[in-house]
Structure 1
């Protein structure tokens, strides 16, 4: 293994683990200590501005509707989300965030935004383009190799 491959491997593993730990600790120590990383990512998939169907959310998270139902039940019980039947088709369940859910969404979004701003701070346009291109290549490889949704 070349030195670059070894260093990149270590960096990616460390970054992935560190981001998860920081997200968990931020939730645990903050205003939203009653939700998990999985639940905050479900909140993120629900989105801020419109109701979404259970199927749409499950597809975005690459999970089954049954698995999502458990997560939504918990978010509804904790006051982060609401579910309603569609007016057009009563079989369709629509999910949206409550005010509390939107606040959690915004705080999580800020964490990611701050992380990205710090990452590109001081990079020139060429360096930024190289970073973006490299991450896009990695992302495309993972999606193709493991049949993940685009």
Structure 2
């Protein structure tokens, strides 16, 4: 093997290990910060559900279940918990009363903003020192990863 292929192999190994470590560390940080906050009653999964619902979109339950790849039953159970805890509200769609739209309460919006701020800091630290071209390459790399994950999860 030549040194270029050895370097590429080392880069692949580094990226693989880094992705695993970063995912693990983000989840640990989120869990730890939740436990230290006023939102002790929430899990990381519930936090990501709140993030998916978003601040202003009024997504439907079907949209949220599709994004998170959850069965309607699993989503309903999670939504029931979040509603009891005071983070979300369900609203009947005015155009089609069979459709349920989801929204965040003021408590849910506060949690959403805190979570969003953490992720904004992550992105800023990740892109520190990058120029526009580097950022577009990083964006394309993440699009590629998302496509791969979608392909694997749809099998």
TM-score range, shorter chain: 0.7 to 0.9
Q: Report the alpha carbon displacement of residue 79 of structure 1 after superposing the two structures with TM.
A: 0.6
Quick check: 1:24 aligned with 2:31?
yes
Quick check: 1:34 aligned with 2:41?
yes
Which structure: larger Rg? 2
Q: Deviations over 1:15-68 (max 9, x none)?
A: 111111111111111121110111111111111114232112111211111111
Q: TM-score, normalised by structure 1?
A: 0.88
Match in the other structure for 1:47: 54
SS at match of 2:86: coil
SS at match of 1:83: strand
Quick check: 1:75 aligned with 2:71?
no
Match in the other structure for 1:132: 139
The CA RMSD over aligned residues, in Å, is 1.9
Q: How many residues align?
A: 148
SS at match of 1:123: coil
